[in-house]
Amino acid sequence: MDLEKLSRRYRTLTRISAALLYAIAVSMALNFFWEPGGIYASGVTGAAQLMNTIVTRLGVGFLGTPFWLVALNLPLFVLAWRKIGHRFTLFTILAVVLSSLLLHFSPMRKLTVDPILCAIFGALFNGAGTGFALRSGISTGGLDILGIVLRKKTGKSVGSINIAFNALIILLSGFIYSWPHALYSALGIFINGRIIDMIYTQDQRLQVIIVTNHPRTVIAGIQEEMRRGITIMHDAEGAYRHEEKTVLLTVISQYELHDLTQVMHESDPHAFVSVTPTVRILGHYYEPKRE
């Protein structure tokens, strides 16, 4: 019981740290690069920037991007509470509130006037913060929540869903600001999505084919360490030595690839293992429940 409490406290501290790290990253991305360079961010953050631009031109600019960031996330908090998990939602609210506060109170600095550099480095900071937050079991709000919900139905990665939703942001930024800056924003959004996918690998599926002489040991290791279902194909034969083999088929996440490597090293280091990306999975696939 004590170990369980310690583990829970460790996860809580990790999520709080991830929320703070994300808040620092997004405030740097916006205040140092995107806002000074006229670059719009992805998702709800970009929508908050657009809303701030519109109301500023209408003479109501005192609200600011931080206000709209919280306001636009409110209905998504309700969606996360119902569809994902309560603790997950609470940490998401923490991440959004912290980022809004840091955006409001941290000074805006123009490190460069080059919009391309602003788009790239803003995306690097924001993508890294978002990816680390997702990997730590929390969301940064906005399209992250929609991405997680829709991923369960479509099988698409969070970064890809993020990019798909941002076509509207790019079009609106072109009409409201300028078309060159819309293209720079598109560059930043693309890089942001790729950085997220590089760091948050839990939703990237891999098909694993294992040819082994010790199927029982391998199966026990995978099911004990990774909790994955395995299909067993008996009576396979190696073409070189004509030895009887067993072929095992399973699907894991990119995040679990290191665990699979360790299991194979301990259970059958001489087994042949083929790992390939898989686009979509139909049927039951176990995913740990978010809390």
DSSP calls for the chain = -HHHHHHHHHHHHHHHHHHHHHHHHHHHIIIIIIHHHT---SHHHHHHHHHHHHHHHTT-TTSHHHHHHHHHHHHHHHHHHHHT-HHHHHHHHHHHHHHHHHHHHSPP------HHHHHHHHHHHHHHHHHHHHHTT---STHHHHHHHHHHHH---HHHHHHHHTHHHHHHHHHHT-HHHHHHHHHHHHHHHHHHHHH--TT-EEEEEEEES-HHHHHHHHHHHT----EEEEEEE-TTT--EEEEEEEEEEGGGHHHHHHHHHHH-TT-EEEEEE-S---S----PPP-
Which of 95-109, 207-221, 229-243 has the weakest average pLDDT? 229-243
In angstroms, rounded to a whole number, what is the distance separating the alpha carbons of residues 54 and 177? 10
Segment 239-256 mean pLDDT:
82
Instruction: Name the pLDDT band for 120 (thresholds 50, 70, 90).
Output: very high
Cβ–Cβ under 8 Å, residues 134 and 203: no
pLDDT the model gives residue 277: 80
pLDDT at 152: 63
Per-residue pLDDT tens over the stretch 155-196: 565 556 666 778 888 888 888 778 888 898 889 888 888 888
Statement: residue 76 has pLDDT above 60: yes
Looking at residue 155, what is its pLDDT? 59
> Domains of the chain, with CATH numbers?
2-199 (no CATH), 205-277 (3.30.70.120)
pLDDT of 70 higher than 80: yes
Q: Which one-letter amino acid corresponds to residue 223?
A: Q
pLDDT at 32: 93
- Work out the average pLDDT over 130-151: 78
Does residue 16 surpass a pLDDT of 60? yes
Q: What is the pTM of this model?
A: 0.72
Which tokens is 232 given? Answer: 């067993």
Under the banding of pLDDT at 50, 70 and 90, the label for residue 244 is confident
User: Which residues in 203-236 are b (16+ Cβ under 10 Å) and which e?
Assistant: bbbbebebbbeebeebbebbeeebebebeeeeee
Residue 31 · residue 108 · CB < 8 Å: yes
Rounded-to-integer distance, Cα 13 and Cα 34, Å? 30
Statement: residue 137 has pLDDT above 60: yes
pLDDT band at 94; cut points 50, 70, 90: very high
CA–CA distance, 170 with 176 (Å, rounded to integer): 10
pLDDT at 206: 84
Asked if residue 153 has pLDDT above 70, the reply is: no
Q: Is 82 exposed, middle or buried (0-12, 13-18, 19+ CB in 10 A)?
A: exposed
Please give the pLDDT value at position 33. Answer: 93
Q: Mean pLDDT lowest for which of 54-58, 138-142, 156-160, 231-235?
A: 156-160
CA distance linking residue 100 with residue 4, whole number of Å = 33
Q: How confident is the model at residue 61 (pLDDT cuts 50, 70, 90)?
A: low
pLDDT of residue 197: 78
